[in-house]
């Protein structure tokens, strides 16, 4: 038996654990609506995310080794089987409640992957031509353009869209890794442009997956990612990289692929959030009040001025120009010695038309 089958089985477990740990970490970090690398910087502060990335890197390595012998349509479809491992861990450890439809679709997904395992024919890959390299580089720009618009989506639609874009990036990385797996000399690999296309797509896919997992539905994000990474990569492998199917089992391969893809797409439709999505807190509006005019000699609070309870002398209010701020009365005060000091509240002043510089006599009656 080829070692590729062992790598394939270990890859499924590694990806399943990675998705679970990253979902736990993403639920602890505030959701973002911008496509910025700081999202990853905040996620790496969470230990589960770091452990999840470690499992995902292990899954990358195992998938890379499996692609040396196994066709892309099998390896990429088997990545989707890791969703079953993710769901099992969530049910056992975090008490996730999956609907009956989700459980049935996960079982259907396993059936589809089993059909592909039976129909796949192991074999090495052909070398990638210049057309494949240019197409993969152009796909990176297209994925990034759509991601800037999709990052504003919320809930399950956001998880599905961002997960699908992450899947396209991971699928492109898988296409690049299939020919690279045939090389044994490290210097040859380092000068191959496919290596740097693989790294770029992997980083973009990791960023988009982190954003997708923040939208609340782990099954929707991972299922859409697996669907988008499977179909294009399988088509490229069969058409350009020499992937083969066991003779007489073409029908089984086609049926298994359709079942797998349909189950993954259906999971994006019936998936429900496994953790609450934080809602943004509205920013309170702050009213800015203009500073009062500085043309006055002194400002006195009229509300306080009209409720004086201590003895005061009669005064003359010198009114500044009539444009006065609300609740404030700019005045200059000059004492008037008329020999009539009284206590208590001020009596209402006569209604006068204030003019600039006018003097208004005010007396304080005694009790």
User: What distance lies between CA 138 and its chain's CA centroid?
Assistant: 24
Contact 318, 331 (CB under 8 A): yes
User: Which residue, 178, 176, 164, is CA-closest to 136?
Assistant: 176
Helices 47-66/193-213 angle, 10° precision? 140
CA separation for the pair 355, 352 (Å, rounded): 9
Cβ burial, residue 250 (10 Å; 0-12/13-18/19+): exposed
Contact 222, 85 (CB under 8 A): no
Amino acid 294: pLDDT: 46
CA separation for the pair 212, 206 (Å, rounded): 10
Amino acid 367: pLDDT: 47
Instruction: Kindly list the distances between the CA atom of residue 22 and the CA atoms of 95, 147, 210, 245, 263, in Å, as whole numbers in the listed order.
Output: 17, 20, 7, 34, 23
pTM higher than the cut 0.75: no
Does residue 245 sit in helix, strand or coil?
A: strand
User: Which residue, 125, 224, 231, is CA-closest to 176?
Assistant: 125
pLDDT digits (tens, 9 = 90+) for 1-17: 678 889 999 999 999 99
Amino acid 209: pLDDT: 86
Half-sphere exposure of 58 (CA within 13 A, CB side): 17
Sign of CA dihedral 117, 121, 124, 129: negative
User: Which residue, 201, 205, 91, is CA-closest to 138?
Assistant: 201
Instruction: Kindly list the distances between the CA atom of residue 95 and the CA atoms of 87, 102, 275, in Å, as whole numbers in the listed order.
Output: 10, 15, 11
What secondary structure, in 3-state letters, does 135-198 show?
HHHHHHHHHHHHHHHHCCCCHHHHHHHHHHHHHHHHHHHHHHHHHHCCCCCHHHHHCCHHHHHH
Does residue 98 sit in helix, strand or coil?
A: coil
Amino acid 53: pLDDT: 85
Q: Which ranges of the chain have pLDDT less than 70?
A: 1, 29-41, 43, 216, 268-367
CA separation for the pair 118, 70 (Å, rounded): 12
CA separation for the pair 268, 259 (Å, rounded): 14
Amino acid 20: pLDDT: 87
CA separation for the pair 275, 264 (Å, rounded): 20
């Amino acid at each position: 038996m080829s070692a590729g089958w062992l790598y394939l089985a270990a890859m499924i477990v590694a990806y399943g654990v990675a998705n679970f740990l990253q979902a736990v970490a993403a639920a602890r970090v505030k959701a973002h609506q911008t496509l910025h690398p700081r999202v990853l910087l905040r996620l790496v502060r969470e230990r589960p995310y770091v452990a999840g990335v470690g499992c995902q890197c292990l899954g990358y390595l195992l998938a890379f080794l499996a692609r040396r012998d196994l066709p892309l349509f099998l390896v990429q479809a088997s990545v989707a089987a890791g969703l079953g491992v993710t769901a099992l861990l969530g049910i056992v450890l975090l008490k996730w409640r999956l609907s009956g439809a989700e459980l049935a679709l996960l079982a259907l997904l396993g059936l589809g992957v089993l059909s592909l395992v039976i129909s796949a024919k192991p074999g090495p890959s052909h070398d990638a031509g210049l057309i494949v390299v240019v197409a993969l580089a152009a796909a990176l720009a297209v994925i990034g353009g759509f991601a800037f618009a999709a990052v504003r989506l919320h809930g399950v639609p956001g998880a599905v869209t961002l997960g699908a874009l992450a899947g396209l990036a991971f699928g492109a990385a898988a296409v690049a890794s299939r020919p690279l797996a045939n090389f044994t000399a490290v210097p040859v690999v380092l000068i191959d442009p496919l290596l740097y296309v693989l790294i770029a797509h992997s980083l973009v896919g990791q960023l988009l997956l982190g954003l997708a997992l923040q939208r609340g539905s782990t099954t929707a994000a991972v299922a859409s990612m697996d669907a988008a990474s499977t179909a294009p990569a399988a088509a490229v492998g069969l058409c350009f990289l020499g992937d083969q199917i066991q003779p007489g089992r073409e029908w089984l391969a086609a049926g298994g692929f359709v079942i797998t893809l349909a189950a993954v797409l259906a999971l994006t439709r019936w998936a429900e959030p496994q953790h609450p999505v934080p809602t943004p807190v509205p920013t309170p509006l702050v009213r800015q009040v203009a500073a009062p005019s500085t043309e006055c000699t002194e400002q006195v609070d009229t509300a306080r001025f009209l409720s004086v309870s201590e003895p005061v002398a009669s005064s003359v209010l010198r009114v500044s120009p009539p444009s006065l701020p609300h609740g404030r009365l700019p005045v200059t005060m000059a004492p008037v010695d008329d020999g009539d000091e009284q206590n208590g509240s001020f009596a209402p002043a006569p209604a006068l038309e204030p003019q600039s510089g006018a003097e208004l006599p005010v007396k304080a009656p005694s009790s």
